[in-house]
Amino acid sequence: MKDQRKAMLAGLGAVLLWSTVATAFKLTLNHYTPLQMLLVACSASVLVLALILRVQGRLGQVVRLKPVQYVQSLGLGLINPCLYYLLLFGAFDRLPAQEAQPINYTWALVLAYLSVPFLGHTLKMKDILAGLVCYCGVVVIATRGDVTGLSFSDPLGVALAIASTLVWASYWILATRDRRDPVVGLFLNFLFALPVIAILTGWRDGWPALVTEGFLGGLYVGAFEMGVAFVLWSRAMKLATNTSRVSNLIFISPFLSLVFIYLILGEVILPSTWAGLILIVGGLWLQQRDSRRREVVPTEPGHG
């Protein structure tokens, strides 16, 4: 049964959790490499999603899929979580959280652009203008306000952050052909990806030490950013009578995230970060304000 009030509460819960993850990323990366962090987080996510499916009485769906859908799980799992989170964690490992976090939110714009060649959507002048506004914001943040000098604080970190938006948007385009229950699909993607991540971690960086702060941080990221928040957002989309009102909640997240970054990480938020973030959010609002037009509507709005 549709219930807009419950949808808004679930959406707010998801947004609140996503607002904390930039801080959690940085705290955990003080102790782990990106691969080690991904291994702990993915393991936690698999356990949490399995528990959620068990409580909801849907765990049996995991073993009732067609063989081709399990192959699909492996393919999608190599994209998300494997490639996407390695790029994202790599960006956060090199950049201050206040720089990596806003850039990550431009994935929705990338999704609109990639939908043109791959899904046959129409690119409007509004989309082009939104892109110019958003990426002006990225340049402002990445150069810390030195726009004319184009002196990037960490070119590789910025490249990793932008690459993660391309991978995330590509993942959602591929996921439009996924007919599985969203939570079942995500669980299987992570389950199939976990052995690959474990092998890469053991070969490249060694097994993560059970350092209390790093291990707890990885568990938090996996349980809440990759698990509970996704389920809350999916529930919000199902309950909503007006999905655009729920979707607009995501615009709160990047600003709230900066508050946590300042209070917990102690990063001094630069004026260029605020200016760039306002440009990025303004561009995304411009691109998404006509919520009734045909477009890809993911069950998860992104991270940061």
Residues sharing a CB contact under 8 Å with residue 19, sequence separation 6 or more, in sequence order? 252, 253, 254, 256, 257, 259, 260, 304
Count of structural domains within the chain: 1
Q: Chunked in runs of 10, what are the mean pLDDT values of the chain (304 residues)?
A: 86 92 96 97 96 93 92 94 96 94 88 85 85 91 80 87 94 85 93 97 92 92 91 85 80 92 95 94 82 48 55
pLDDT at 179: 84
Residue 134's CB is within 10 A of a number of other CB atoms, namely: 25
The verdict on residue 303 lying in a domain is no
pLDDT at 2: 81
Amino acid at 17: L
Indicate the SS3 state at residue 213.
Answer: helix
pLDDT at 300: 56
DSSP structure class, residue 250: G
Tokens of 257: 């995230």
pLDDT at 295: 45
Domain that holds residue 260: 4-288
The verdict on residue 230 lying in a domain is yes
The verdict on residue 293 lying in a domain is no
The verdict on residue 110 lying in a domain is yes
pLDDT at 205: 94
The verdict on residue 302 lying in a domain is no
| DSSP structure string for 61-91 | GGGSS-HHHHHHHHHHHIIIIIIHHHHHHHH
Separation CA 189–CA 230 (nearest Å) = 14
Separation CA 273–CA 124 (nearest Å) = 28
Rounded to two decimals, the pTM is 0.91
pLDDT at 128: 86
| CB of 233 closer than 8 Å to CB of 10 | yes
